Amino acid sequence: MADENTEDSDSDTQVQLENNTEEEHADFNQSFIDELKNEFDAYSPSDGELQKAVEAFEKTNQEKANVEYTMASLTPTHASVYVKPEVIDFNKIDFEAITNKFVDENKGKYDDYEKAQQDAEKYILQELPEQLNEEDVEQPQYMSADGYKINLTQEDGTWTVDTSDSNDNYDYKGLISGFMGGLGDQ
């Protein structure tokens, strides 16, 4: 069980979440790793390399991202909240500039095109944490103007965020993709 509150909130506004946030964060990171791995064609990054990139992405978003919450509806046992993030978007990262930097630094060093392509993709992955620091945050491309609608239910004084993959909860998947920089967009 997780306590979710902000530094300026008091105990009267503290919300108890029943969700296992540690497990869900681990699942999120694994999904993020899987989606990021799919972005590579010539290079097969290790899970360790991908985990490092995911951690750098999360750290940068923790420093730069903004998230607005708006109550959509509230009853004693159900709530819907609009979550409107501004996060780093992978589609806005200038991967061509990173590739061009690799090409400039390695002119004449490769006779094998496939090896050059593999090393260029590896270079992109290595440079990603530094590049993330240069990026601005923005709202996800496919998010509605209100944000992503997230559903919660309350039972025995604790709230549970609906993380199911159902028709009633289609925005949750979009929210997850948004926090992955747009990877995995439907």
pLDDT per residue as tens digits for the range 104-134? 999 999 999 999 999 999 999 999 999 999 9
Give the type of residue at 173.
K
Q: Rounded to two decimals, what is the model's pTM?
A: 0.85
Kindly state the tokens that stand for 14. Answer: 């503290």
Q: What are the pLDDT digits (tens) for 47-93?
A: 999 999 999 999 999 999 999 999 999 999 999 999 999 999 999 99
Q: Which of helix, strand or coil describes residue 114?
A: helix
The DSSP secondary-structure symbol of 91 reads: G
DSSP 141: T
Whole-angstrom CA distances from 7 to 4, 85, 106 are 10, 19, 49
Q: Are 162 and 172 in contact (CB under 8 A)?
A: yes
